[in-house]
Structure 1
């Protein structure tokens, strides 16, 4: 990686780090309050908090980097982003449903993507006071310290929260596992594979760029792969931003089974 690019990535990380902290303050101001909510076309909820954070982030980030593209869950997509070498990929509040229910596992996710690859990313869980960040080639950090997996306690199977249909098919194959904690933010769930809270994290088909871009970089910098079970390592800032089912795991021993089960349960998109 050219030194100049590495320095540029660090500058972008500093920018999105600062923006995420301020966005977390904005979102926390609405948390566990009586906020206005709406239902989007895909039946998922959105709130005035999501929109407030989105407006702040777009004004702040695009104001500092006017030549970057923009892709956010709460902004109408503009395919002009595909003509940009670098773009911001943003989820103002990942885990909105849990956020509205008072759950503390929601996050602010911001990624800088260059030519399809994440080069700087943050996942910030304000209520938990957990700030995950990474820059390409520079390692991954939690609250300023390098991320290290905690030691496994006892002789138990892999810890893996997943939808019931996935668990049932794994059980039918004789694969033992611990169901693990429910974590409403997909990004936060994925990075817990890096910390050792989880051993395997999966997502049903339909995750979008903003759900997984930051986590994919953080995991990669920890030496952990995140893959679309239909087409391998995800690429970002394409016309189609949805992905097949996603899996991240520390060890590859169960990879073939997990990937096959996810393909069986969710199928694969026809446009990949």
Structure 2
């Protein structure tokens, strides 16, 4: 079996495109991708299931084709990873890589809701350096470049700065946080929770201070969180796994076991609940009786 060697560290001096050039391109293509998605929105589109309870529609593929064609034609030598494109191992040799979710939140899209958007990230040396998430129905365009802060519709954003979990606003399934079977250490009953279909949108709403934190113990792929990871961090927040490890992108298996996004002041009380939950989860998993993760 052929083994691909890890990509050498990206040499910006020899690249014909600066991050400023890439920033301009990402803004343009993400806005246009939003217009394409809206042309299918609230219409009778073709829908099928990639796997049980995992719908996809023709809009996903139309947006994916536009992004892949436009980005790859304009950036020769960059890699590509998308939810709707067959993964190619050659991406592991690329110092710069596009990571795309053409429509994150397809279920909401199909239901005529507003909790969906287009996620585009440029990853360099396994870290996002340019990122956009566009939720057209919400009229919310989030953007970040490494070291330059984050914006929504061109205005700077920052996390809430909350330090009290009892009054925190959690982006996640309210019923899951009340279920004692998941959490050996319970969440405060006064904590507010709200769900959104798109994980990227959930994280962006932490970045702009609408919510204070987001926790999911379900695995997420690179394309789910690459753009939002940078947007949250550039807004002053933290994004980690449930083990407090930073997210690393463009690995052979582009999957993250769990996601925690938060204001720094809430990370300790959140982990006081997440870490025991993960330990209990793995114990139950070993006995074959683990329930679905929240």
The runs of 5 or more residues in structure 1 that have no matched partner are none
Q: Find the aligned partners of 2:69 and 2:12 in 1 and give their Cα distance.
A: 29
Question: Does structure 1 residue 76 correspond to structure 2 residue 86?
Answer: yes
Aligned-partner SS, 1:132: strand
- Contact 1:124–1:132 (Cα < 8 Å) also in 2: yes
Q: 1:168 and 1:33, CA in 2 relative to 1: closer, same or farther beyond 3 A? A: same
Question: Does structure 1 residue 125 correspond to structure 2 residue 135?
Answer: yes
* Partner residue, 1:184: 197
Aligned-partner SS, 1:230: coil
Aligned-partner SS, 1:51: helix
TM-score, reference length from structure 1: 0.89
What is the Cα deviation at residue 179 of structure 1?
3.3
* Partner residue, 2:126: 116
Aligned-partner SS, 2:101: strand
The runs of 5 or more residues in structure 2 that have no matched partner are 1-10, 286-294
Question: Does structure 1 residue 36 correspond to structure 2 residue 46?
Answer: yes
Q: Find the aligned partners of 1:262 and 1:196 in 2 and give their Cα distance.
A: 26
Aligned-partner SS, 1:35: coil
Point out the structure with max Rg over C-alpha. Answer: 2
Q: Find the aligned partners of 1:156 and 1:255 in 2 and give their Cα distance.
A: 11
Q: 1:150 and 1:242, CA in 2 relative to 1: closer, same or farther beyond 3 A? A: closer
Q: Find the aligned partners of 1:266 and 1:161 in 2 and give their Cα distance.
A: 21
Q: Which of 232, 244, 248 is residue 235 of structure 1 equivalent to?
A: 248
Question: Does structure 1 residue 105 correspond to structure 2 residue 120?
Answer: no
- Contact 1:165–1:265 (Cα < 8 Å) also in 2: no
Per-residue displacement from partner, 1:58-92 (whole Å, max 9, x unpaired)? Answer: 01000100210000000000010000110000000
Question: Does structure 1 residue 203 correspond to structure 2 residue 213?
Answer: no
What is the Cα deviation at residue 162 of structure 1?
2.7
- Contact 2:159–2:237 (Cα < 8 Å) also in 1: no
Q: 1:41 and 1:173, CA in 2 relative to 1: closer, same or farther beyond 3 A? A: closer
Q: 1:25 and 1:257, CA in 2 relative to 1: closer, same or farther beyond 3 A? A: same
- Contact 1:88–1:110 (Cα < 8 Å) also in 2: yes
Q: CA RMSD in A?
A: 2.6
Q: Which of 147, 150, 163 is residue 137 of structure 1 equivalent to?
A: 147
Moved more, 177-186 or 82-91: 177-186
Q: Find the aligned partners of 2:280 and 2:258 in 1 and give their Cα distance.
A: 9
Aligned-partner SS, 1:77: coil
- Contact 1:89–1:110 (Cα < 8 Å) also in 2: yes
Q: How many residues align?
A: 266
Write out the 4+ residue segments of structure 1 that deviate beyond 6 Å after TM superposition: 2-5
Aligned-partner SS, 2:51: coil
What is the Cα deviation at residue 240 of structure 1?
0.8
Q: Which of 39, 46, 59 is residue 69 of structure 2 equivalent to?
A: 59
Q: Which of 270, 277, 281 is residue 255 of structure 1 equivalent to?
A: 270
Q: Find the aligned partners of 1:214 and 1:131 in 2 and give their Cα distance.
A: 12
Q: Find the aligned partners of 1:180 and 1:173 in 2 and give their Cα distance.
A: 14
Q: Find the aligned partners of 1:31 and 1:58 in 2 and give their Cα distance.
A: 21
TM-score, reference length from structure 2: 0.83
